[in-house]
Each structure stands twice: as C-alpha cells, then as structure tokens.
Structure 1
Amino acid sequence: MIFICTLLITTTMQAQTNRYKKEIFSQVKTDFGVTYAQNKNIYNKLQDLQADIYYPANDNETKRPMVILMHGGGFMYGSRKDDYVVQVCRQFAQRGYVTASISYRLGVENMYNPVSYGEAVYRAVQDAKAAVRYFRANATKYGIDAEQIIIGGGSAGAIAALHAAYWQQNQVPNYLNTSKLGKLNDAGGNAGVSDKVMGVVNCWGAMIDTTYLTKGNVPIVSIHGENDNVVPYKWIGLGDFNLYGSYYIHEQAQRNGIKSVLKVFPNTGHGLSRNDTAKWNATVTTIGDFLYELVSEKDNQKTERYISFPEKLN
C-alpha cells in the first residue's frame, strides 16, 4: 500500500539571519541617477524623472522587497538627495531591502489657488505610480521581488505615496481637471504593468479624503508629530483642498479592517531631525517592525509548500 505523506515547510531564511529586521549588511552600494520615467512638468516640457537606488553590498539574494521613498518640500522644492531620505534608504538597504529615493515633478502653478496644490499632488501621484511600474517591470535587473514593493515618503512625499496607494481614478475630485492632467496610471511609461503596492510608509503625511481607504486596502504605518502645524496631525482646510492627517487616516483604516500602525510624538512639530536621536530611532524601529512583519507574512505564504511523496509500508 502506498501512503502520501505531506510535509508543510515554513522555515524562512530571514528567521535565521534577522534579514529585514536588523542592519546585517555593513556596506551599501548605489546606482545614482537612474531614469525611471519622463513626464511633462508645469511648463509643458518633458522632464526626466530619476531615482537613486540603494542595495545591500555583497548580497546573493535575487528577489528582495523594495521600498520606494519620496522626499518632502510642499511640492515646490526638495530633492531625492535630502539627508533624511538618503539615511532611511541606506539604513533599510543594510537590513536587506532594495530602496530607492525618487525625484518627482515639482511646481505649483498658482500659489494662491488651493486647486493648484491638488494638481501638484496629482502629478506626484502619477510619478509615484510610474516608479512602481518601472521597478516592477525591471525587477530581475535590480534583484527585486515584484510582489513586494512598498511606497512611502515624508511630508509632501507621504501625501503623494498615500494617494498612489489608495486613490482610484473614480475618486478624483471634480475640481481637478483630469483632461488636462491625464489619468493617474497612464503617465510615465511601462503601460499595462501593475502599479499596486504591498504597503505604505506615511511620515507626517495626509490625504485629501480618508474615504479613499476602503476594505481590502494594503497596510499602512504612520508617524506624526502631535503639534505639526505644516501637515496637521488631524485636519486643515484650504478651500476645496482639504488635508486629513495621520489621526484620521489611522481611524479610517481601523474602521475598515486595514492593518494600521500609528506612532505619535507628543509636543513635536513637523518632521524629524536625525539630531533627535531618540525620536529618529523610534521612527526607524516602528517602520522597521512594520515592514518586517509585512515581508515575513508574504514570505511565509510563498514558502508554505506541500511536498508529497510515496512511502511503501509493505
């Protein structure tokens, strides 16, 4: 008689090595100035959009989770080379991720018109989605697991990342002229490639409308200063353009069964300085624990395999 014995394999390499949990790589290598897309800026001129990519050095893994980060600057200034973004990219590359700090189109056509800020958000979201498509289309080249792409950012970059993850075309407010701006997912190349992400890192960001968060959406981790007066922790209204901060984002996520982690710093304003070591380390730890759990869940799903083989007892 032949019996089928079934074994469930759940052991993962990261459990043995602390990969993705701790900074286990001492060195990081980089690719600077990689063009991931071209899109027209507010002057109607094509602009090269570039990324700086960070990898763990001397790493044999070929399918690694990726974290794409977007800098802040009110959609008017800032750079992918801003110190805090670079530092986060390097620290998480040392944990085994592939990370990228991306440029996106900047500029607000009319500083006195809140709708112009909405258009700036829209353009940044188009660029964020283009970056996701680019890296997914080139996953083998960069040693990325195409199923494990996370997007995040700080301030304006977080606003863009949040909307890139959760905004659907039919949710775009009527005050935004999409005939002028184009669709959310058709700017920047790699048409037909998915721009879906696995999770979101929101550092002092906000959303135009938290009802964009619905059941089944991807998990999110949020970091915010309780006294933030730039991108408020709760809410600010600017005519038609409203911003709901991490307080309401977390509340809406919980209401809809979306995994959400919120870290609030009391008596703290907008952003964080690396000189504030305690808060910086707490931020990195909160994000790191969130990402580790996220990729662990994904890896466990991928490594659970049933292996059947015949065993003759007689």
Structure 2
Amino acid sequence: MIKRQLTLLFFFISLSVFSQELYKGQVYDEITKSVHTYSDTLKLDFYTAKEAVENKDRPLLILVHGGGFTGGKRDNPLESEFCKTMATKGYAVASISYSLTRKGTATGFGCNCPADEKISTFKETTSDILKAIDYLKIAGDFNFAHDKIVLVGSSAGAEGVLNTAYLANYPGFKDLPMMSIAAVVSFSGAVMDARYITPQNAVPAFLVHGEKDKLVPYATAAHHYCDPTDSGYLFLDGSSTIIKKLKDLNASYYFLSDPEGTHDWAGLGFRYTDAIAGFIFDVVVNGGKVQFSEEVSQ
C-alpha cells in the first residue's frame, strides 16, 4: 500500500514538473521534420516532437528567414537549429520559403530599388505568409491551436512578419486575407508604418535590434538610410518605434537592444530561445502581460 502511494506521488510530481516545463524548457528529445508544398513551388519544413504530434492545443511558430528578399533559405543552420530547439519545448514549428521577388534583379533591395517595388515586395511576402498559415490550418496533417500562432522573422523575414501582424489596415494591404496573430518575434526588423498598430491589433512582440543597424532602422528612418533623392527612399519604423507604440497602448513586449549593435542581431537573436519561449508561455499560453526592456551586447 505504501509502495503504491509512493508510486502515485512520484507520478503526480513528475506530471507537475512536466506541465511547468512544457513550452519553456526542453521536454522532448526526438524531433521529426517533414517537407510540404504550401503554394505552387513554395515549401515549408514542419518540425514536431513525436510525443507532441497529437497535441491540438500547442502554439504554432512560423519562421520566416532573412536574406534581403534576394536569398536565404528556410533550412539555414541557424533557422534549423532554432526550429528544433523550439520543437523540443513542445511547440509545433514551421519554417517557410517565400517568393524572393528581388532575386536576380539589377536593383536588389537597396537604395536603387524603387520605393513602390519595396512596398510590393513586402506585400508579396505577407501574402505568402498568409498562404502558409492557411495551408497549415486546413491541410489536416498538423495539430496546433489556431488561435496561438506566433510569427518569427529575421531581417527581411522580420519585416515580413511585422507587416503581417500589424498592417491589416494599411491601404495597400486591405485586399489581403489578413488573419489574427497571437504574437510576433522579430530580429532586426521594421514595419512600414507603426501608426497602424492599434488597440485591436497590438499583439505581443519580442523584438531584438542593434542601435547601429545600417540596413534596417532601429527607430524611424529611411530603409538602408537611403538619401531623399534615391528611388528607394522609404521610411520604416524599427523596433524602438514599435516598442514605444506598444507601450503607449499598454500592450505586452520584450525588447532587447544593443547600443553598439549592428545588423548582426538578425542572426544573434536566434540565441534567445529560452527567453522567447518564456515570453510566449507568459503571454500566449497563459494570457498574461509582460513589459520588459534590457540592453544587451554581443
């Protein structure tokens, strides 16, 4: 009888520890990856722990890689390792390819790329992200909570996820089938216009940015710091401006900034898997509020 009671006690203690670590610590070891075509030739990699594959209440993380809309891959080493790590914590994770609309163009995505073409590129990326979400929701091969979708992006991908999360009412985006997002994670990203962040769409944000980023503005400035005479002159609102807006709206945020940091933080942000998991656990899983800012360094 005593042995049976001790066994039950151990079981309940183990169950309690498991529930506390799920979505925060490493719970699983064996991760599987499957490849799927979600639109035309665009593919995504879906990562899941074998033991969590039937969990319909787990959050889904969708990762959008960087590369200036001219390159980059969904299965780069940093992206792959991030996906595996988050899957060990119990999340469903998808890393997507998207249309690299500036690949092979003479102007790339810098100051010689006309501003209207930059806006079209942003819109095309958001369109692809929405297609990936729609596919994952209706394909039937994936289990996750449809109201717990978190977008994660680096550099160009960060611009893509921020625009998708916050620009439902932006004039050029109104014809897109925008969807509700539970939270957004951005490494060195910016949004086209933070004024479109409202009480209705101010979803929690985990942002990482270097203050000396010369490609994607840390605050509000021209993309790539182009001159007003350049055809690619387009103002963007970076992480600092987005955080100020979220503060004004009393929304949740987690902000890591490096006073000496450059665009390198587009890659360095991937190291913060534990902090990201803790933030998602607090604001998405538990529905709590987090407002945290900290200076960091490389």
**Structure 1 length-normalised TM:** 0.75
Measure, in 2, the Cα distance between the counterparts of 1:120 and 1:97.
29
In structure 1, the residue matched to 2:136 is 135
1:271 to 1:286, Cα distance in 2 relative to 1, 3 A: farther
> How far did 1:119 drift?
0.9
In structure 2, the residue matched to 1:59 is 52
> How far did 1:200 drift?
0.5
Q: What one-letter code is carried by the residue in structure 1 that aligns with 2:38?
A: Y
For structure 1, the 5+ residue unaligned runs are 1-11, 39-47, 186-193, 300-314
> How far did 1:236 drift?
2.5
1:171 to 1:13, Cα distance in 2 relative to 1, 3 A: farther
Of structures 1 and 2, the one scoring higher in RCO (CA 8 A, sep 6+) is 1
Measure, in 2, the Cα distance between the counterparts of 1:105 and 1:212.
25
Measure, in 2, the Cα distance between the counterparts of 1:267 and 1:288.
26
> How far did 1:172 drift?
2.6
Which structure's CA Rg is the greater one?
Answer: 1
- Aligned pairs for 1:19-168 within 5 A: 19-32=22-35, 34-38=36-40, 48-59=41-52, 61-63=54-56, 64-108=58-102, 111=107, 112=112, 113-138=114-139, 140-168=140-168
Measure, in 2, the Cα distance between the counterparts of 1:59 and 1:256.
36
> How far did 1:13 drift?
6.8
1:155 to 1:13, Cα distance in 2 relative to 1, 3 A: farther
Deviations 1:8-36 (A, max 9, x none): xxxx978734110001211210102x111
Contact 2:191 2:238 in 1 (8 A): yes
Aligned alpha-carbon RMSD (Å): 2.5
In structure 1, the residue matched to 2:188 is 204
> 1:183 is matched with which residue: 175, 182, 201?
175
In structure 2, the residue matched to 1:304 is none
Q: What one-letter code is carried by the residue in structure 2 that aligns with 1:25?
A: Y
Measure, in 2, the Cα distance between the counterparts of 1:16 and 1:115.
49
Q: What one-letter code is carried by the residue in structure 1 that aligns with 2:255?
A: L
Contact 2:188 2:265 in 1 (8 A): no
1:171 to 1:249, Cα distance in 2 relative to 1, 3 A: same
1:90 to 1:219, Cα distance in 2 relative to 1, 3 A: same
Q: What one-letter code is carried by the residue in structure 1 that aligns with 2:264?
A: G
Measure, in 1, the Cα distance between the counterparts of 2:84 and 2:211.
27
> How far did 1:295 drift?
3.3
In structure 2, the residue matched to 1:290 is 279
2:284 is paired with a residue of what secondary structure?
helix
1:141 is paired with a residue of what secondary structure?
coil
> 2:21 is matched with which residue: 18, 21, 35?
18
Q: What one-letter code is carried by the residue in structure 1 that aligns with 2:207?
A: S
In structure 2, the residue matched to 1:251 is 244
> How far did 1:131 drift?
1.2
- 2:211 paired with 1:226: yes
* Structure with higher strand content: 1
Measure, in 2, the Cα distance between the counterparts of 1:68 and 1:96.
14
Contact 1:62 1:144 in 2 (8 A): yes
1:125 to 1:110, Cα distance in 2 relative to 1, 3 A: farther
1:52 to 1:152, Cα distance in 2 relative to 1, 3 A: same
Measure, in 2, the Cα distance between the counterparts of 1:36 and 1:120.
19
- Aligned pairs for 1:269-308 within 5 A: 269-272=262-265, 281=271, 283-298=272-287
Contact 1:154 1:271 in 2 (8 A): no
1:26 to 1:153, Cα distance in 2 relative to 1, 3 A: same
Contact 1:204 1:223 in 2 (8 A): yes
1:86 to 1:21, Cα distance in 2 relative to 1, 3 A: same
**Structure 2 length-normalised TM:** 0.79
> How far did 1:163 drift?
0.9
Contact 1:229 1:269 in 2 (8 A): yes
1:142 is paired with a residue of what secondary structure?
coil
Task: Tell me the percent identity.
Answer: 27
> How far did 1:95 drift?
0.4
1:273 to 1:151, Cα distance in 2 relative to 1, 3 A: closer
Q: What one-letter code is carried by the residue in structure 2 that aligns with 1:152?
A: V
In structure 2, the residue matched to 1:42 is none
Measure, in 1, the Cα distance between the counterparts of 2:287 and 2:141.
21
Deviations 1:32-71 (A, max 9, x none): 2x11123xxxxxxxxx211001001233642121000100
